[in-house]
Structure 1
């Protein structure tokens, strides 16, 4: 799942980013509201974790503009202020949840899962293509009803491809989404990770679900009707 995290306090930002990544989230991070608003309006996220008191465009202003422009991505407000008026203002502007500092990352993760379930419904959290089923909440993958053990990176890559069967993704797109924008673009980690996923699926289903597109990248095969 893709998270946009907007927070200007470095220690909190590093702590939360590390915790979310350990839980398998792909995290884009901004330390100010202007960059956060740009990312929120130019990329697709499953949830935005947004500190109210950030430099530039503040969190409430970002939320207000997102909702006015029709962006319905779930938003969790994060702030040191715990006054009732602040909570009500955020919720009235369209926030899906509110969490006050200090907090445990485990609580934030639980709230993220909750708002995503409410926003998209359980059906969209279960990706099913052919013999493969991937649960985005429990992070379980099965093939022909047999469980497949995937690493966090393998799961995120498979989810990324399964969300758009038939669409071709370049290696650069996969790197940016699964590994992050600051990863070395000349690495072969995408190919290695694809090979590992295939080796885990092949004994359970001989169908080549992840197809190589020569000179371009990869796509997840559309099932035959």
Structure 2
């Protein structure tokens, strides 16, 4: 999952980025509202975290502009203000949730995970597809109750496909959503990770979880029964 973090406090920005990356998120950062608006409009994000008190363009205005341009990914606002009117203003602008500083990074991760799941119609952190199961809270993966060990990039790719079960995703879309803006979008690394996932998840090719659609991309097949 690819996130946009708009926060002008350098120490907090660094701390949050570290925690988010440890949770297998790819994170782009911006230190002011104008840069946040540019990135939020230019790149495909799965969610955004926006501080209210930003320079150049405040967080509330940033969110209003993104929503006016029909960007509908989940947004969490961060605020040092404790007046309920400020929180209401943020939610009315189009934010989906808020956290008041100071807060624990674990709470931010839990709220973020929940928002992303709900945005694709998943209420539980446990997502199942036949014998394949992932837990987006613990980052664990299993097939027929057998634990599967994945690298960070392999997990990101599988999680994105699981959250968009049955949908065809091109290599470009997959790369854009699991890597930050500095990654080489022309790379064939997605093909490598797809091969690794197939070998780890389905070494005997019993289930055929991941389908290749020539010229279109990849799809995680819905498993409705035993293969």
The alpha-carbon deviation at position 7 of structure 1 amounts to: 1.2
| 1:55–1:192 CA distance, 2 compared to 1 (3 A) | same
**In 2 relative to 1, CA 164–185 (structure 1 residues): closer, same or farther, beyond 3 Å?**
same
Aligned equivalents of 1:95, 1:186: Cα separation in 2: 33
Is 1:5 paired with 2:5? Answer: yes
Structure-2 change in CA distance of 1:77 and 1:131 (3 Å): same
1:122 partner SS: coil
Deviations along 1:8-32, whole A, 9 cap, x unmatched?
A: 2222212111110101122222222
Give the superposition deviation at 1:221: 5.4
RMSD of Structure 2 on Structure 1 (CA) = 3.4
* Partner of residue 179, structure 1: 179
Task: Tell me which residue corresponds to 2:29.
Answer: 29
Gaps of 5+ in 2: none
In the alignment, is the contact (CA less than 8 A) between 1:168 and 1:213 conserved in 2?
A: no
| Contact 2:117–2:123 under 8 Å retained in 1 | no
Change (3 A) 1:116 1:197: closer
Give the equivalent residue in structure 1 for 2:219. 220
Shift of 1:61: 0.5
Cα distance in 2 between the residues matched to 1:177 and 1:71: 15
Tell me, yes or no, if structure 1 residue 200 matches structure 2 residue 183: no
4+ aligned runs moved over 6 Å, structure 1? none
TM-score (norm: length of structure 1): 0.76
2-structure distance, mates of 1:200, 1:156: 15
In structure 2, the residue matched to 1:89 is 89
The answer to whether the 8 Å contact 1:133/1:142 transfers is yes
Query: Matched residue pairs, number?
Result: 223
C-alpha separation between the residues in 1 aligned to 2:26 and 2:42?
A: 16
Gaps of 5+ in 1: none
Is the Cα–Cα contact under 8 Å of residues 143 and 205 in structure 1 kept in the other structure? no
Aligned partners of 1:164, 1:28: CA distance in 2, in Å? 25
Q: How does the TM-score come out when normalised to structure 2? A: 0.75
Distance in 2 separating the partners of 1:70 and 1:186: 28
Distance 1:211 1:122, change over 3 A: closer
Q: Distance in 2 between matches of 1:151 and 1:3?
A: 19
* Rounded Cα–Cα distance in structure 1 between residues aligned with 2:173 and 2:119: 26
